[in-house]
Structure 1
Amino acid sequence: MNKSGTHKKILISISTLEVGGAQTFALKLASILSENSQTEVYFFVWNGDKVETQMLNTLLSKKVRYYDLNRFHLINYLGWKLNALEESSGKSPSIRQKMIGLLFKYIIWKHRVDVVHSFLYPSDLNCAKHLHSSVPLVVTEEGDYLLRMRKGEEIDEIVIGRVNSWVAVSEFAKRKLASYLALDPKRIKLIYNGLPFVPVKNEEQKDKDSFVVGMVARGHQSKGWEALILAFLGAKKRVQRQMKLVLVGEGTFLDQLAKTYGDQEGIVFTGYSSNPGLYIAGFDIGVLPSFFEGETFGISVLEYLSNGKPVIVTDWGGLPEVMQDGEHYAGYVVGFHDDGKPNIGEIEDAIVKMASDPEVYADLRRNIDKVISRFDWKLISAEYQETYQKLI
């Protein structure tokens, strides 16, 4: 392994590459790190059957070497065949999973990787089991541990004992992780998620005659989609200008909402987008009324802000932390009803304020630069480089 303190070889590991905040951040981090001439970056996915190819091709730099077992067609085919033979003999199929572990070890050995950086608990567990003790392991908590905590699930001791450096993406996540794993908070480093602050220019999609409320998220009910729709319909009656609601995401729950509300004037369901920034550029405000149990940060909130859009978020998880910095707020934080669902009336009032009062809207936009300065990729990349270097 490299001990020179200069050239580094980093492997980013993740369990799946389905659409999600952790996956998006891991891909972007790998790409940003690869821009440093002193850093070689490799990317490993444990479950190559769950890879959103369009997202991968859009977000991962060509400078990053990508691996999953599915890329090795003959070995992958052999793995499935051997699994089938195991099943036919009444055994639980395990050979292909062992092959994935061997591929991981081979990549570490072949490239002489200095540090492995893992995202999502299944990846953390696999790394802890397969990684040689001489290779440091960094784990970033993006909400997976919080979800397990709220479900009452235990974390394997092999993970807790093997991780060399813990990273949390918000103060909220740091507190929860320390409590859940009984860790000294000093062992957990705070490094925010980040986005390149280059607004996407898309004048064709900007409806200049309407005030556009938008939301980008996974299609889970707990992201608060229906609360936003109901709040928008209420606000639309109170605002003396054209209004539009653009909902960017996919899933069974959103399909159901589209059947219920798709005929309402001004509401647009876009479906999945590999580049939601194209839609965000056309928003006037971005909303995330989430009550998702693993909400430690809220990547979409940062995407709104990085494109100059004030936000509305629920007082949930790490969301308020993203849109405020001390006394500076880049939007509104709303509460919940007694049943634990987002307060529709408060969301509606916040929409009405921003749509009706140009001075309020302008003030919130002016605060955005102050709020997002913490999320500059140069700062975040440097923090991770420092974390890696201390372990080598």
Structure 2
Amino acid sequence: MKAAILCTEKKPVPAVHGGAVETLVDLLLENNEVLRLADLDVYSIADDAAARRSSRFKNTSFHFINSRSAFNSSFNLLNRIFHKCRLHLYLNVYLNRAVKELKKHNYDWIIVENRPLYIRVLRKHLGENARIALHLHNDFLSKENYYAKSVIRSSDKVLAVSGYINKRVKEAAASERDQKKAAMLCNRIDVRMFRVNQESLQENILRKKFHLAPDTKIILYFGRIRKQKGVLELILAYEKALKKDSSLRLILIGESDKEDYMKKIEDAMRRLPPDCVQVIGYVNHGELPGYLAGADLIALPSVWREPFGLTVVESMAMAKPVISTDSGAIPELLGDGCGLLIGNGSRLIDHLSDALVMLAADPELREKLGLNARKKAVASYNSESYLSDLIEKLETP
């Protein structure tokens, strides 16, 4: 199979600047380095560091597209107007330049990473004979979305990252024929990297970094510090839990690009005793396992409908007990006794506080949940079969 992977206009591939979607594309490329299952061409925004990193991939060709243009701000404004008026129009400099490159090649499949609005443009310029698959990482094609039907109709396949997203796509499809285009391709992680080893347990980065006593119970959150991730609710729940168990400590790993939300976080932290909550900024993805190894439990209380939950699966692979909400795809991940699910309703903070106290006080339950989680992560979300599963989904009628 000869396939093109068209990445987004936000971050480059290889994933030198992070990004969940970009990291997942890297996993596909790593698979192909070992197995050589396909001839892959990657289309990415231009980036010097990414271009240097790309040289290590021997079985993938890279097309770095210069996305800089004086038209970008105007196009962004027009796109917002089109969206508000529910018009099926989309302007994008990077996409237009990528189309010109794509036309120079013949591909069995063109795989579009998480950009449904690219699909109709590609279909228009590449014709009906081009086979185009949308790899959908977010809840962009629901029946509430005005462009969902036309995007599904213009796609040959829609690969959804979870059962939740797959169901939403099928609900939005205009016909039974379009429903059959939907297939599930779960996100994956490198379970060899995300595993607990004796070295990381003995080193315990978190305890050493913050001089925590051996009997301290470490609650860890990691990921983007944003409203939909429930970080403020976690701090408020922790405040309640601390009154019942003074040995609890909360550590947050991640960055926020929302100053107003971060101010709310800081205000909530000021109401707590000194040094009860610690915030670590961005941690390189490759260094995360060392930090996760030091946690006693992990709290990821999303308050939106998570399309998948990579941080949940990374925690599972580390054999860590996870507390999260029954939102979106999370029940798919933490089902089968792999974590604790709490209701995402008006009593979220109370329920989360109770769960923190209960799980911190029960080492046997933590161990049981962690072992179940690791087993499921290895069986269901192992990146070693990611590319072969992708090819199978594409080739299945």
User: Would you say same fold, with TM above 0.5?
Assistant: yes
The counterpart of 1:179, out of the listed 165, 168, 171, is 171
Match of 2:109 in 1: 115
Does residue 260 of structure 1 match 2:267?
yes
Match of 1:41 in 2: 40
Matched letter for residue 344 of structure 1: I
Match of 1:298 in 2: 309
Q: Classify 1:101/1:319 alpha carbon distance in 2 versus 1 (closer, same or farther; 3 Å).
A: closer
Q: Classify 1:384/1:106 alpha carbon distance in 2 versus 1 (closer, same or farther; 3 Å).
A: same
Structure 1 Cα separation of the partners of residues 240 and 181 of structure 2: 47
- CA drift of 1:133 comes to 2.9
Does residue 234 of structure 1 match 2:226?
no
Q: Classify 1:139/1:257 alpha carbon distance in 2 versus 1 (closer, same or farther; 3 Å).
A: same
SS at match of 1:214: strand
SS at match of 2:390: helix
Match of 2:134 in 1: 139
Q: What runs of 5+ residues in structure 1 fail to find an aligned partner?
A: 1-7, 88-96
- CA drift of 1:196 comes to 0.9
- CA drift of 1:21 comes to 3.6
Asked if 1 retains the 8 angstrom alpha-carbon contact of 2:219 and 2:248, the reply is no
Match of 2:125 in 1: 130
- CA drift of 1:123 comes to 3.3
Asked if 2 retains the 8 angstrom alpha-carbon contact of 1:323 and 1:371, the reply is no
Does residue 280 of structure 1 match 2:292?
yes
Asked if 1 retains the 8 angstrom alpha-carbon contact of 2:164 and 2:329, the reply is yes
Q: Classify 1:33/1:366 alpha carbon distance in 2 versus 1 (closer, same or farther; 3 Å).
A: same
Structure 1 Cα separation of the partners of residues 261 and 247 of structure 2: 27
SS at match of 1:329: coil
- CA drift of 1:16 comes to 3.0
Match of 1:370 in 2: 375
Identity between Structure 1 and Structure 2 (%): 20
Summarize deviations over 1:104-128 as a string: whole Å, max 9, x none.
Answer: 2443344533211112223334433
Superposition pairs of residues 1-392 of structure 1, within 5 angstroms: 8-18=1-11, 20-45=19-44, 48=45, 62-63=57-58, 64-70=60-66, 80=70, 83=71, 100-101=94-95, 103-120=97-114, 121-145=116-140, 149=143, 152-155=144-147, 158-184=150-176, 185-198=179-192, 199=194, 202=200, 203-207=203-207, 209=214, 210-239=216-245, 241-252=247-258, 253=260, 255-263=262-270, 264=272, 265-275=275-285, 276-293=288-305, 295-324=306-335, 328-338=336-346, 343-372=348-377, 373-390=379-396
Asked if 2 retains the 8 angstrom alpha-carbon contact of 1:193 and 1:299, the reply is yes
SS at match of 2:35: coil
Q: Classify 1:279/1:384 alpha carbon distance in 2 versus 1 (closer, same or farther; 3 Å).
A: same
Asked if 2 retains the 8 angstrom alpha-carbon contact of 1:195 and 1:303, the reply is yes
- CA drift of 1:321 comes to 0.6
SS at match of 1:10: strand
Summarize deviations over 1:320-351 as a string: whole Å, max 9, x none.
Answer: 11112xxx21110000333xxx6111111211
TM-score scaled by structure 1?
0.77
Asked if 2 retains the 8 angstrom alpha-carbon contact of 1:125 and 1:156, the reply is no
Q: Classify 1:100/1:241 alpha carbon distance in 2 versus 1 (closer, same or farther; 3 Å).
A: closer
**Alignment root-mean-square deviation, CA:** 3.3
SS at match of 1:369: helix
- CA drift of 1:177 comes to 1.1
Q: Classify 1:271/1:363 alpha carbon distance in 2 versus 1 (closer, same or farther; 3 Å).
A: same
